[in-house]
Structure 1
Amino acid sequence: MSIEKETSEKLEQQPQANPQDAHELETPEHQEEQEHEEEADYSHFTRQDFVKLIESVLHESDFKKVDALLRDTRPLVDEMKEADRQAGLEKFLADGGDEADFDFKYDEWIERYDAAYRLLKDKKAKHFAELEKQKDKNLARKEEILEKLRHLVDGEESTTSINALKTLQTEWKEIGQVPASQAKTLWANYNALLDRFYDNRSIYFELKELDRKKNLEAKLELCQRAESLAKETQVKEAIKQLNELHEEYRHLGPVPKEEQEALWQRFKAASDAIYARRKVYLDEIKGELDKNMTLKSALGDKVAAFASFTSDRINEWNAKTKELMEIQKQWEAIGGLPREHSKEVNKKFWGGFKSFFHNKNEFFKNLEGLRQENLTRKQALVAKAQEWAESKEWDKASNALKQLQQDWKAIGPVPEKFRDSVYNEFKQACDLFFTNLRNRNSEEQKGFEVNLKNKEAVCAKIEALAAEKSGNTDALTQLVDEFTKIGFVPRNAMKSIQRKFHDAVEHFIAAAPDLDDVNKERLRLSIELGIAGHDPMAKRKLSNKENDVRRKIKEVEDNIALWRNNLEFFANSKTADKLREEFDVKIAKAKEELSALKEQLRLLRSIE
């Protein structure tokens, strides 16, 4: 049996090699710490926040902290990247692109995050590779110390052997970690050789006791530091410091046996107090994560309904997209999920999300054929617009182009690469015609202004003629004829010039000394119907006026006959006299109106 194996078995049996001193961290609370890592809340982080966070640890030497940060933030950033890519793909397809040609470039913040992520991964890999190399070197150095210890243990006792032992112990402590597979055996052999050294020398108990007292003082200080952590407000920081204290406690040697249990219980009690606070903290986080899971599961159910959505209208797809993006905002506003359910809930939500956009992309692919057809129809409208562009048939061309513009609006979108060019061709043709039309209208407007001044001058002449009170109807007829032959006036002056003309004519008729009422009325009708001015429409106007008067005469005669017939039914009525009186008044007024209408008809016939 080898010395190491023999001494290892002895170490397990001897009280001074209590495993509790070698493995202080293996407590239930510490195991819980190893199994449950705190999850930071990144639910409200923007991409800028993630970049600042990851860049802040580029020079961090605690790679456990770095690894946890990368593990927690990477999925969230990947979700952002996927959402960006989907949105970019959707726009690319909506603009007429082919998915096979889609090449998406992420924004500056995503690029910076990815660059920092790769750098940290490389640094971490390099660090742990160096660490493993160092552990191998440490193993070799500790094995050399073990060999020296064997020589020291088996050698002759001298006054310098204790100093040599202390030197080897110091060297052993200064050496860092070794590969985990070798650590326990190495530690056991080291302690076994120390025990053999003290067993073989007369000063063993004295030196061991002295060493234990020093260890006792050191562990008492660790207990005080552990107890002071109760004042630390940040649970995470308290746990970090406590782990460091456990690591120190573990590497300190044994203490006097009578103090050993009480000391450990004191240190454990301080640790338990911190772990109790951590349990409350983790329970709170778990409650929050469970609440988040309920909310996100509900959103997953909502998104699942989008996966089966279908429509043949772009605006309905866009409306649904807007709804889905609002749900995504709600999703992103909610915090993290319990790790054991995270994959399931995320898969449910993002599965529905991706299915919707897949269906939408298929819709836009099918829409491309329709857009090509729309392009052909719009190109036909361009050709028609170009035919009318330089036409001088102003009204006909204007109406035709306005109809083409309505037809254009009714046609749906065309492929994106032709949208501007085909529209510009159509617009140029329309603009050419309407620019020419505006120029023509501008010239016409100037002519209308001249006509207005000429008509105002004629009205002034009629007013002057009326002021003479000569009754010269021939001169009036010439002026009316001159007024009629003048062309159009501006639209906003039409009513005012007609009023001025009518007032001037009435002033003349009223001032004419030799005209009786019949001739005055005949003159009014003649001017009104355009007879005096030789209006080409005069005969038609005269005929229409005569028919209108005849219709009114018949209507009045019918009313008189009806009222007379009604009077016979009231003969035996108690109120017959009163009713007869009312109808007599109506009939009398109707007769007066009838007489005036017949006189007007007679005048119209005389004008003919």
Structure 2
Amino acid sequence: MENIEQQDPVEEKTESQEVVVDSVIDLPDYSNKTLKEIIEIFRQMLDKGDQQEMYKNADALKAAFYKILKKEKIAAGVFNLPVAALQNTEDSAEGENAEVSGAAGEQAEESAANPYVELERGFKELYAAYKQSRASYLQNLEKVKEENLQKKLQIIEELKELVEKAEDVNSTFPAFRELQNRWKEISLVPQSKARDLWESYQHCVERFYDYIKINNEFRDLDFKKNLELKTELCEKAEALGQEPNVVNAFKELQKLHEEWKELGPVAKEYRESIWERFKNATSVVNKRHQSFFENLKQDQKQNLIKKTALCEQAESIAASHCEDSNGWNKLSKQMEDLQTEWKKIGFAAKKDNQKIYDRFRAACDKFYNAKREYYLNFKSSMRENLAHKEELCEKAEALSSSEDWKGTTEKLIELQKEWKEIGPVARKQAELVWKRFRSACDIFFENKARYFGEQDAKYEENLAAKSALIEELRAYKVSDSKDDNIAAMKSFLARWNDIGFVPFKEKERIQKEWNEAMESHFADIRSLESEKKFSKFRRMVTEFRTSGKDRAL
């Protein structure tokens, strides 16, 4: 009798690899969902009761829920907690059966202060229900595994009895097949017992083939069928070597190995070749899988480097301080560009991915909290600036009708300087308050311009009158009567002083012409009167000039 085929050990996948695959490839993205949508997805998932689906999605739903909740709370101004405090808020959902206490009145007050309280409470209840369901499922699964272990141990005992009976093949072989089928129908057993259990089962199968005197016809038929099935498994394993999705190929290979273990031996001449074929196909898939994860680790390492650089840039921006809106807008654009770049970068390694995300999120939160604080203070400052500008408007309006041209001009110029030193006000009010202030200033300066425009015209008239008087003085002919000449000169002086101001730029010229005309006539008069009378007259003229009556010049 030929020895039974030696079954080679089968490579088994590791839990760590499965976790990495799930976290990198199959991780759901709920970031674009609303809080209510996430709650509804969670509720439907619980109602469906698929434990594998719940295990895969529950924590991702939880993380998305609390990140969106935090974002909406900050936007609504419900609270402004640091990242660490918010993390504690998320972690509180881990407590199964989290106590929700307080009277109805307190709950109403809480809902009024925090409109998200009911959503958060509802999610916590769903998550607690999931955790309870998961615990119950795992407990039942362990129970089922233990039951399966006992069933397979019973099959092994029956196989031992079957070998020891060694009855005729017509009755023994169907019983053996029935035990094999029962074995295949039983699924999971405790992991710690699986290998020993399998080796015991294989040992019994080998003993059956070695010690039961099965006739060649049944044995060869069984070997042939097993060869056909193992050949099919080889073909499937070889096809997996060309599967584009390396991770799926690896998972499918594990299933093929499970099927291989359940098949019986083949004829001795095929045992080594068929196993080598299957092993070679397995090696191709395993190498591709290993290469995939090596490349994945390198990609994740590079992703971590890139994300660390973005964190440093975000932290630098968050540490910046701006004094105006333009500066904040420029920094906001830079931060948005960093966030866009972040989304383009893939995952880091699982041990680093959450940490690096939290670091980047903390820098973003710090920046936007500072920006929010600036605009809160900025609005308060703008209200103060508006009140200050309205006060200046009132002062300007009070001065707008003044006719103290010089003093009021100086006051309004000071108000305008003070206006320029005041900071900005809200855009919708800036134009209105500026028009009000400018209107008050314009009223005064227009009145002033109008007034001095009229004065300039009067000065021009005075200039023409004085020019005509000078011409008249020049044309005067000194008479033989000294008294008449003196009277005439007095009359000319009186008329000159009565005329009034002339344009400032013409003042010296017209005065010089007047003095020259007067001096010319004084020379003529001196020749007609005695020095005494002349001196007396000159003294009178001098006194008249120094008395201030010539200021009209």
TM-score of the superposition, structure 1-length normalised?
A: 0.50
Q: Aligned to 1:163, which of 152, 174, 182?
A: 174
Q: Report if the CA contact (8 A) 2:311-2:360 is conserved.
A: yes
Q: CA deviation at 1:266?
A: 1.0
- Are 2:25 and 1:25 aligned? no
Residues 301-344 of structure 1: per-residue CA shift (max 9 Å, x gap): 22333565457778766765554454333323322113354355
Instruction: Name the amino acid aligned to 2:31.
Output: R
The within-5 A match list for 1:138-153 is 138-153=148-163
Distance 1:299 1:212 in 2: 63
Tell me which residue corresponds to 1:291. Answer: 302
Instruction: Name the amino acid aligned to 1:146.
Output: I
The within-5 A match list for 1:248-267 is 248-267=259-278
What percent identity do the matched residue pairs reach? 23
Q: CA deviation at 1:220?
A: 0.6
Q: Give secondary structure in 1 for the equivalent of 2:21.
A: coil
How has the CA–CA distance of structure 1 residues 31 and 48 changed in structure 2, closer, same or farther, with 3 Å as cutoff?
closer
Q: Aligned to 2:344, which of 317, 333, 336?
A: 333
- Are 2:202 and 1:191 aligned? yes
Residues 338-387 of structure 1: per-residue CA shift (max 9 Å, x gap): 3354355445434544555677788899x69x95x998998899999999
Q: CA deviation at 1:197?
A: 4.3
Q: Aligned to 1:48, which of 26, 32, 41?
A: 32
Q: CA deviation at 1:221?
A: 0.9
Tell me which residue corresponds to 1:131. Answer: 141
Q: Report if the CA contact (8 A) 2:7-2:261 is conserved.
A: no
How has the CA–CA distance of structure 1 residues 15 and 154 changed in structure 2, closer, same or farther, with 3 Å as cutoff?
closer
The within-5 A match list for 1:358-377 is none
Q: Across the two proteins, how many residue pairs are aligned to each other?
A: 420
Q: Give secondary structure in 1 for the equivalent of 2:223.
A: helix
How has the CA–CA distance of structure 1 residues 299 and 75 changed in structure 2, closer, same or farther, with 3 Å as cutoff?
farther
How has the CA–CA distance of structure 1 residues 257 and 330 changed in structure 2, closer, same or farther, with 3 Å as cutoff?
same
Q: CA deviation at 1:289?
A: 2.8
Distance 1:157 1:226 in 2: 39
Instruction: Name the amino acid aligned to 2:248.
Output: E
Q: Report if the CA contact (8 A) 2:162-2:172 is conserved.
A: yes
Tell me which residue corresponds to 1:305. Answer: 316
Q: Aligned to 1:201, which of 212, 224, 236?
A: 212
Instruction: Name the amino acid aligned to 2:11.
Output: L
Distance 1:149 1:215 in 2: 20
Q: Report if the CA contact (8 A) 2:145-2:190 is conserved.
A: yes
- Are 2:541 and 1:553 aligned? no
Q: CA deviation at 1:61?
A: 9.2
Q: Give secondary structure in 2 for the equivalent of 1:337.
A: coil
How has the CA–CA distance of structure 1 residues 358 and 47 changed in structure 2, closer, same or farther, with 3 Å as cutoff?
closer
Q: Aligned to 2:21, which of 34, 37, 43?
A: 37
TM-score of the superposition, structure 2-length normalised?
A: 0.54
Residues 152-182 of structure 1: per-residue CA shift (max 9 Å, x gap): 4444735523322222222221122222223
Instruction: Name the amino acid aligned to 1:184.
Output: R
Q: CA deviation at 1:151?
A: 4.2
Q: Report if the CA contact (8 A) 1:88-1:104 is conserved.
A: no
Residues 232-256 of structure 1: per-residue CA shift (max 9 Å, x gap): 3333433333232222112222223
Q: Report if the CA contact (8 A) 1:150-1:193 is conserved.
A: yes
Tell me which residue corresponds to 2:545. Answer: none
How has the CA–CA distance of structure 1 residues 556 and 267 changed in structure 2, closer, same or farther, with 3 Å as cutoff?
farther
Q: CA deviation at 1:222?
A: 0.8
How has the CA–CA distance of structure 1 residues 65 and 243 changed in structure 2, closer, same or farther, with 3 Å as cutoff?
farther
User: Tell me, which stretches of 5 or more residues in structure 1 are unaligned?
Assistant: 1-13, 94-99, 415-419, 442-487, 499-517, 519-538, 560-608
Distance 2:315 2:28 in 1: 24
Tell me which residue corresponds to 1:220. Answer: 231
Q: CA deviation at 1:217?
A: 1.5
Q: Aligned to 1:544, which of 501, 510, 518?
A: 501
Residues 468-525 of structure 1: per-residue CA shift (max 9 Å, x gap): xxxxxxxxxxxxxxxxxxxx9xx9xx99xx9xxxxxxxxxxxxxxxxxxx9xxxxxxx
Instruction: Name the amino acid aligned to 1:47.
Output: S
How has the CA–CA distance of structure 1 residues 231 and 116 changed in structure 2, closer, same or farther, with 3 Å as cutoff?
farther
Q: Report if the CA contact (8 A) 1:41-1:335 is conserved.
A: no
Tell me which residue corresponds to 1:239. Answer: 250
